Chains A and B, each alone.
Chain A
C-alpha cells in the first residue's frame, strides 16, 4: 500500500517535470531556427565596441587629467588619438549602414 503511494508521488513529480521540459514544444509558438550572426553583423558589433571603448577611454582620460594623473601634453595627445579611434569606428559604421541591403539598427 505505502509502496504504491510512494510510486504515485514519484510519478506525479516525474510527470510535472516532463511537462515543464516539453512545454516549449507543446506551446503554439512557431519554432523558427535562430539565425547566426552574419559577417556584416559581426563587423558592426566590433565597430560599436571599438567606438564605445574609445568613448570610455575618453571619459577615463578626462577623469585622470582632472585628478592630475595625466599632464596637459599627454592629455592632448591621448585625446587626439582616442577621438581619431572613435571617429574611425563611426566612419566604419556609417559605411556599413550606407551599403545597399542593410537596415539601419535604429529603425
Chain B
C-alpha cells in the first residue's frame, strides 16, 4: 500500500495497543486466586487483600450444604493438602450445584482467621461433567 494509508494503519494498531497497555498499568494486575495453603501462608499478601479462594467445600456448619441458604459457614479444604479454612458466606444466592464435596471459588478477605466471603460471589464448578470416569460424584 502507499505510504499514507500504511502510516494510518500503523497508528491505528499502535493506538489499540496503547489503550490496552494503559488499562493494564492503570488498573493493576488483577485479583489473586489462591488455594487454602497459599491463603494461610499469606502468599503475596493474600491474607490482607480481597482474593478469590478455591477449594473443596467439605462441610457446612449446622446445615445440609445441598439446601444451605446464606448466611452460613462452611469449611473449605485445599486441593493439594489437608489445610482447611472456615468460610462465612454472608449473603446472596447459592448456586444450584453447591453441595458437600464440590469444588468452589469464592471472593472475600481474611478476618481473624475466618474467610469472610462477599455476597453473591460463590461459584460452584459444574460437577464432573467431564470426569475421567468412575463414580461421577
Q: Within the complex, are A and B direct neighbours (CB within 8 Å)?
A: no
